[in-house]
Amino acid sequence: MSEPTPATQAPAPARQEIKLTFLGLAFDPHRVIYSTIILMTALAIYDEGTDRLGVSAMATIFGIIAGPLFALTMAHAFSDALDLQIKLGRRLSGRDRRRLLGSNLEYMYIGIPPMALALVLTLANLSADTVIVIVEILGVVSLFFWGVFAARQANLGRWNQFNFGFGYSVMGLVVIGIELVLTH
């Protein structure tokens, strides 16, 4: 008997949506990665200066972190609401809206660690420039982690996991570099 051809093989079963939980919050990797790139880009174009962080600079950094993530959250909530209403062919219920809001708030979660870190670094009397650099480095490390995670989910070996992590880190840096070139 002959082997089935790709055209006659059944498609691979779709993987279930992966949600990771940390401190009681559920994370969709897609949303975390997407918001990490947005956050890193916003921080890269911010001219923080070399002054020590004070209340005013701290509020600005919080705004630089929260503003783009809030815009991203609202844009996706708006788009998802329209998409769901079109697909369902009916008005959205309160339950639909709460579910959409809850899932789209995941875009905001990524701002919590950098804000907490910025607050701690402010207490250590570091400059705004240093705080931004540290947060950016952690963003690149995060992209490395997600590259490794994706390779593990694909059952790749350790060396390929490292290669994927490195590759995705570099891609994140390229995106930030392009943004810097376009804005400066």
Is the pTM higher than 0.85? The answer reads no
67: left (phi > 0), else alpha (psi -120 to 50), else beta? alpha
What local confidence, expressed as pLDDT, does residue 71 receive?
Answer: 93
What local confidence, expressed as pLDDT, does residue 46 receive?
Answer: 76
What local confidence, expressed as pLDDT, does residue 53 receive?
Answer: 56
Please check the confidence at residue 180 and state whether its pLDDT lies above 80: no
What band does 9 get if pLDDT is binned at 50, 70 and 90? Answer: low
Terminal alpha carbon distance of the chain: 64
What local confidence, expressed as pLDDT, does residue 31 receive?
Answer: 87
Please check the confidence at residue 29 and state whether its pLDDT lies above 70: yes
What local confidence, expressed as pLDDT, does residue 5 receive?
Answer: 52
DSSP category for residue 52: B
- The residue ranking higher by pLDDT, 122 or 144, is 144
For residue 38 the two structure tokens come to 């947005």
